Amino acid sequence: MLMQHTDCGMLRITDEAFAQRMEDFAGQRPEWDAHAFEDLEESVRASKRTIEGSPFIASRRVRGFVYDVDSGELREVT
């Protein structure tokens, strides 16, 4: 099961802005991307594809969900 949630901080920032904040805080930029996103459901789909394509995960039966932090609702992303 893969689950992401509404009101996620990664919805409110870009990879560039994240890298700049880290540089401002730590004095250097991270060598990796934060993978910020604008579309929560598409992010779930992309993460699901990554897991399904991984040689390190034996099962290919992956389900993705979005947890709504306001309502407590859990909805499946197909």
Task: Determine the Cα–Cα distance for residues 68 and 29; give it in Å rounded to an integer.
Answer: 32
User: Length of the chain in residues, anyone?
Assistant: 78
Q: Indicate if the pLDDT at residue 75 is higher than 90.
A: yes
DSSP state of 31: S
Tens digits of residue pLDDT in 43-64: 999 999 999 999 999 888 999 9
- Average pLDDT for 19-39: 96
Tens digits of residue pLDDT in 11-23: 999 999 999 999 9
- Answer for the pair 49, 42: CB distance below 8 angstroms, yes or no: no
- Answer for the pair 10, 36: CB distance below 8 angstroms, yes or no: yes
Q: Domains of the chain (ranges plus CATH)?
A: 2-77 (3.40.1050.10)
pLDDT of residue 67: 98
Task: Determine the Cα–Cα distance for residues 46 and 26; give it in Å rounded to an integer.
Answer: 30
Provide the percentage of residues in the chain whose pLDDT is more than 70.
Answer: 100
